[in-house]
Amino acid sequence: MIAKMTSRWEMPRRLRAIVRARESSLIALAAVVGASAGLVVTVMGTSVDLLHRLFFHVGPSERLSGLLRLDPIVAVSVPFAGGLAFGVARELIARWRPEREIDPIEANALHGGRMSLIGSIIVAAQTVWSSGVGASVGLEAGYTQLASGIASRIGNAFRLRRNDLRTLVGCGAAAGIAGAFGAPLAGAFYGFELIIGGYSPPSLAPVGVAALIGYLVAHQLAPAEVGVVAPEGMIVATHDLVIAATIGLLCAAAGIVLMRGVALCESLFARLKVRPVLRTTAGGLGVGLLAIVSPQVMSSGHGALRLSGVLDLSLWTVAFFFVLKIIASIVSLGCGFRGGLFFSSLLIGALGGHLLAVALAMIWPSASFDPNAYAVIGMSALAASVIGGPLTMIFIALETTGDLWLTTAVLIAVIVSSQLTREAFGYSFATWRFHLRGETIRSAADVGWMRELTVGKMMRHDVRTVPAAIAIGSFREAFPLGSTTYVVAVDDEERYAGMVRVADAHAAEASPSKSVKELLHNGDDMLLPGMTIKEAVLAFDRAEAEVLAVVGSYRDRRVLGLLTEAYALRRYAAELERQRQELVGEE
């Protein structure tokens, strides 16, 4: 479907050639993508605000999650009805588009940056509706999905090379995050860390330009602010750095609990065999009941993350809100609402850091613990655990507070949180969901070429076979020394029986009663045409073989071809070298 739609939107051949021939052309496309992403952020954010005004009667200068009180009937009925409508719409869409939509990380990891624009629009609309009816989800996933989808469509229209298309998709996501948070540096590193899968000199200019323009467009149309209050004149002492490391440890544990909680909620509904339409309805009801107690749990939490407001409440009130927000986020995403955990993790981390600062002040009253400072440290560390972009979170803290000394403490907390999450859990929230679906990718690093380079594409088709019952003498006559190295033996039903080394047959004692069946090896070791090159290399290693037969399936064992380990390794090394050259811009 993607290929058919792309062909309709292709640019003229001469224009495509100009764009493909110059690196500056990719920067120009990145600028267009950045402007588009800024518009996406503005339109989506404005749409959610309009839904909040329509459904919850939120004032023009207010945010839903910033309200201290909300009519209980409205708090319950809107998410409940919104969840029901979401579930019905999703079932209808599933009949029209049964395939699963691809997000930017998966697109860059497996599909060379190819995304569906229609699918991205659907995901963005679902995210807007989810947040608009009060579900505790962030819009950031929708921003990056649609911005990257637009970038992919533009790149496909110019038939960009695989690596350039992946870079342009990263530009879309970077510009979306830059516009959403008012932080171009954080947006750029979001693109590098999470969407492209690494930094390279050729990608610096396109991603940087896209992030900057995305920020400028969004800032001009609808200025964004995270709501973080920077502490005034903070001097980071030794005990602050030690506590920052402790916050990193606690945030890693909290992040793992949060991610596993979403998966547990999903699996619970799956075991109970609840229809998808009823899952989001139940999720909306759950969030609505929590909102009766605390309206701040609703939507992404932009309004609640006004640290000078919510965090000035009593310790027990903040602690209660902290727990409710975690539950609301787990329920919303686990029940099937669209959205992400980016901003929710920022809010939860800020609340946790604030709680720790207040608790320490009670235990150690002679020391100075700034709750706002620890809130910034906590939000960065928890988001680094959940989202998986340590440098992104460090730059968000720096750009939103402007405090370099505070960023030093943030750096320590983020490093500890990220490292512990990697070692104890091994996934970010996005890659954890891939894992639950059976995917093996851990980042957006391009591994799709490995899946495209299969055994079926590398194998030799001119394979020579002999009956396994053939006498050794007859085998010698058919295959003299030097004619070939290996021959495939098959049984009476033409099924793979094993490999025969020609040298072994000539060295063996020949007699009328002996057949090559006694010389067979690797009878249980076979390759399948659909195996990737990585799987093939591992199969050679397990079998300790230099050559293996390729069969149609393990059941029928029909011989299709032959593949040598030496050739597979040469192709693997050549592809790795090509990827390295593209990464550093040597091609």
Question: In this structure, what token pair is assigned to residue 486?
Answer: 């290996």
Q: What is the pTM of this model?
A: 0.82
Domain of residue 507, CATH code: 3.10.580.10
Residues 574, 587: Cα–Cα separation, whole Å:
14
Would residue 443 count as lying in a domain? no
Are 355 and 407 part of one and the same domain? yes
Would residue 442 count as lying in a domain? no
Are 154 and 269 part of one and the same domain? no
What distances in angstroms separate CA 281 from CA 43, 78, 117, 285, 288, one per listed residue?
Answer: 26, 10, 28, 6, 11
Are 26 and 175 part of one and the same domain? yes
Cα 266 vs. chain centroid, distance in angstroms? 18
Domain of residue 49, CATH code: 1.10.3080.10
Q: What is the pLDDT of residues 378-434, one digit of tens each?
A: 999 999 999 988 999 999 999 888 888 889 999 999 999 999 999 999 888 888 887
Residues 6+ apart with CB under 8 A from 219: 179, 182
Q: How far apart are the first and last CA of the chain?
A: 31
Q: What is the pLDDT of residues 236-293, one digit of tens each?
A: 777 888 899 999 999 999 999 999 999 999 999 989 888 889 999 999 999 999 999 8
Are 191 and 285 part of one and the same domain? no
Return the HEC string of 422-466.
HHHCCCCHHHHHHHHCCCCCCCCCCCHHHHHCEHHHHCECCCCEE
Would residue 233 count as lying in a domain? no
Q: Choose one of 436, 470, 504: the last residue of a domain.
A: 436
Are 407 and 462 part of one and the same domain? no
Would residue 229 count as lying in a domain? no
Burial tier of 586 (Cβ tally within 10 Å: 0-12, 13-18, 19+): exposed
Would residue 90 count as lying in a domain? yes
Are 281 and 414 part of one and the same domain? yes
Side chain identity, residue 353: G
CB-side exposure of 111: number of CA atoms within 13 Å?
18
Q: What is the structure's pLDDT at 335?
A: 93
How does residue 8 score in pLDDT terms, banded at 50, 70 and 90? Answer: low
Give the number of domains in the chain.
3
Structural domain including 121 reads 2-224
Are 464 and 421 part of one and the same domain? no
Are 193 and 327 part of one and the same domain? no
Would residue 140 count as lying in a domain? yes
Are 379 and 528 part of one and the same domain? no
CB of 373 closer than 8 Å to CB of 365 = no
- For residue 216, the SS3 value is helix
How does residue 4 score in pLDDT terms, banded at 50, 70 and 90? Answer: very low
Q: Choose one of 172, 202, 224: the last residue of a domain.
A: 224
At residue 292's C-alpha, the angle toward residues 291 and 297, to 5°, is 20
Would residue 360 count as lying in a domain? yes
How does residue 11 score in pLDDT terms, banded at 50, 70 and 90? Answer: confident
Residues 86, 208: Cα–Cα separation, whole Å:
36
Spatial CA neighbour of 441 closest among 455, 456, 426: 426
Are 209 and 262 part of one and the same domain? no
Spatial CA neighbour of 128 closest among 85, 165, 97: 85
Are 397 and 463 part of one and the same domain? no
Question: In this structure, what token pair is assigned to residue 492?
Answer: 């009476």
Query: Of the segments 36-50, 191-205, 307-321, which one has the largest average pLDDT value?
Result: 36-50
Q: Are strands 526-527 and 465-467 parallel, antiparallel or unpaired?
A: unpaired
Are 176 and 47 part of one and the same domain? yes
Would residue 534 count as lying in a domain? yes
The larger pLDDT score, comparing residue 313 to residue 305, is at: 313
Q: Does 446 have pLDDT greater than 60?
A: no
Q: Choose one of 376, 408, 436: the last residue of a domain.
A: 436
Residues 107, 196: Cα–Cα separation, whole Å:
10
